Structure 1
Amino acid sequence: MKVALCGAAGRMGRTLIRMLVNEPGLELSLAVEAPHTPLEGRDAGEIAGVGRIGLPIRGAEKLEELLAEVKPDVLVDFTVPQACVENVKKACARGVDVVVGTTGLTTQQAREIEEAVRKAGVRAVVSPNMSLGVNLLFNLLERTCARLKDYDVEIVEAHHATKRDAPSGTALKMAGIIEQIAGKKPKIHSIRAGEIVGDHTVIFAGPGERLEITHRAQGREAFASGVIKVLKLLRERGKPGEVLSTEEIFS
């Protein structure tokens, strides 16, 4: 499977490059950064710290022609919301499947992605967090909410100081699960400090006791491993014209 990666020089992009270069069955065929990037032409492997791999970083202003030239099977996007929507639309127009890990998408932006996927009939997975552990946490959260509906619930999430969106997409998804099952909208407390990779805690507080469900990412490999798993399952479990979540792909 030929993989195009948008956001190749970002934190997640570099981690994915390090994993993709040694992953059987997956070929990193296109590494894309922001339009008119100063990294244009630099070797993607060197940017990721694995040495030369013979694949230059390209600017997103050329994405349409690059997709036509390289013909990847899937585009993986870890960029920013507006760029992500444009990248997905261009991929869909070329019949390229998409995997989106970009967070901070608005409801309207998510709808635009869904519409592009539906019209093109491509396979798609969109998730704020592709870690296997976090997706198990979503399942645990559903079961806990059903049993502790009368408890107070709040969410605490922490990430590195340069993360642009707050609350995190993962925290917002957790809040959505809680609201749907327990009928209450939890407060979300966001921390942006240092080099924190990603911590999420849901607190259930009731009479005389407190239950906490926590996931701590110790490295971005946790997220990248989930992306690799999604890529390998996409053709088998993806549905043409539909946007699936990681829970649906992993189940």
Structure 2
Amino acid sequence: MKIALVGLGRTGKIVAKYLLEQNALSMVLCGPNSVNANKDIGEILNIRDTGIRVETSDHLEQKLLQNRPDVLIDFSYPGFLMDYIHVFEAIGINIITAVTTYEAVELEKIKNTARMGNIGIVVAPNITYGVNVLMHLAEIAAELMDGYDIEIYEEHHKQKKDSPSGTAKKLAEKLQQNLITHEEIPIHAVRAGESLSKHKVLLCGEFDRIEISHQSYSKNAFAKGAYQAAKFIAEKTGFYEMDDVFKQEKEKRRNTLVMRLADENRRTLSLA
């Protein structure tokens, strides 16, 4: 699988290095005026030269046709995908976008493009595998703990622009679907220091309280999630979210467990 990457911010650089380690990175893109233009990605990451030069988005269609990536991972800004989604659709390049600040009309454009059936798109503001586990656990708790007060706390580094985060909003949306009441779930967002990512759901009742939390210790968690999403979408079409990626991983694990138990039963019967 050949992966193109756009966006070399704090997280994008970690993703680039991770993809290099997987021998999956084939192309890196930047804006026309970026200071990274024409540099070897190795120079930017302070590692050996890789032979992969950062290319600007000028004449993007021609460059994509020459490189032919299977998937593009987007850690840039909303405008990039909005400007070039028609190019990816025309060439047949699937997309994972981890951008968290899309407006509703922009998300609708992405969904409509994916639903045309020419390409597959994963919209993944919640890109880490672990935070999707948090969402599932919180949904179960919200369904069972009817009548409990629910609040969300999230924490990120001070440079993060969106507040609350896309993940926190998605978490609130999923929890709301499991509640009888239509009251808005409060989100408390902290932007301070160098904290990577922390999300916590509080369920408070009259006599007890439940806390479910997830914290990223390394941005490699984002890189691993992006790579998992790329493997998921590589040969699919349509619109997906990280929840779909998680469900497929869960199904694979369940099938592996079933096969292992079947093998153990066969061995037991052969020894009987």
* TM-based fold match above 0.5: yes
Question: Percent of aligned positions with the same letter in both sequences?
Answer: 32
- Structure 1 pair 227–165 and aligned structure 2 pair: CA distance change class (3 A): same
Answer whether contact 1:44 1:53 (CA < 8 A) is retained.
yes
1:34 aligns with 2:27: no
1:250 aligns with 2:246: yes
User: Which 4+ runs in 1 deviate beyond 6 A?
Assistant: none
1:181 aligns with 2:152: no
Q: 2:257 — aligned with what?
A: none
Counterpart code for 1:206:
G
Counterpart code for 1:98:
I
- Worse overlay, 45-54 or 106-115: 45-54
Answer whether contact 1:171 1:200 (CA < 8 A) is retained.
yes
The separation in 2 between residues aligned to 1:69 and 1:134, in whole angstroms, is 36
C-alpha deviation, 1:120, in angstroms: 5.3
Secondary structure of 1:140's counterpart equals: helix
1:143 aligns with 2:147: no
Q: 1:192 — aligned with what?
A: 191
C-alpha deviation, 1:174, in angstroms: 0.5
- Worse overlay, 192-201 or 45-54: 45-54
Secondary structure of 2:125's counterpart equals: coil
1:112 aligns with 2:109: yes
Answer whether contact 2:228 2:245 (CA < 8 A) is retained.
no
Q: 1:153 — aligned with what?
A: 150
- After superposition, what is the alpha-carbon deviation per residue over 1:10-54, rounded to whole angstroms, capped at 9, x for unaligned? 122111111111215x2x121112232122111112212332111
Gapped regions of structure 2 (runs ≥ 5) = 248-272
The separation in 2 between residues aligned to 1:225 and 1:69, in whole angstroms, is 27
Q: 1:130 — aligned with what?
A: 127
C-alpha deviation, 1:246, in angstroms: 1.6
- Structure 1 pair 42–227 and aligned structure 2 pair: CA distance change class (3 A): same
Answer whether contact 1:102 1:128 (CA < 8 A) is retained.
yes
Secondary structure of 1:37's counterpart equals: coil
Q: 1:90 — aligned with what?
A: 87
Q: 1:69 — aligned with what?
A: 66
Counterpart code for 2:11:
M
Superposition RMSD in Å: 1.6
C-alpha deviation, 1:119, in angstroms: 2.8
Answer whether contact 2:142 2:178 (CA < 8 A) is retained.
yes
Gapped regions of structure 1 (runs ≥ 5) = none
- After superposition, what is the alpha-carbon deviation per residue over 1:131-183, rounded to whole angstroms, capped at 9, x for unaligned? 11111111111101101121111111111111111110100001101211113
The separation in 2 between residues aligned to 1:212 and 1:62, in whole angstroms, is 50
The separation in 1 between residues aligned to 2:133 and 2:21, in whole angstroms, is 26
The separation in 1 between residues aligned to 2:85 and 2:45, in whole angstroms, is 23
Q: 1:2 — aligned with what?
A: 2
Answer whether contact 1:36 1:61 (CA < 8 A) is retained.
no
Answer whether contact 1:18 1:49 (CA < 8 A) is retained.
no
The separation in 2 between residues aligned to 1:151 and 1:137, in whole angstroms, is 18
TM-score normalised according to structure 2 size: 0.85
- Structure 1 pair 84–196 and aligned structure 2 pair: CA distance change class (3 A): farther
- Structure 1 pair 87–166 and aligned structure 2 pair: CA distance change class (3 A): farther
The separation in 2 between residues aligned to 1:229 and 1:167, in whole angstroms, is 25
Counterpart code for 2:40:
D
Secondary structure of 1:143's counterpart equals: helix
Number of equivalent positions: 245
The separation in 1 between residues aligned to 2:206 and 2:147, in whole angstroms, is 10
The separation in 2 between residues aligned to 1:153 and 1:2, in whole angstroms, is 42
Answer whether contact 2:150 2:201 (CA < 8 A) is retained.
yes
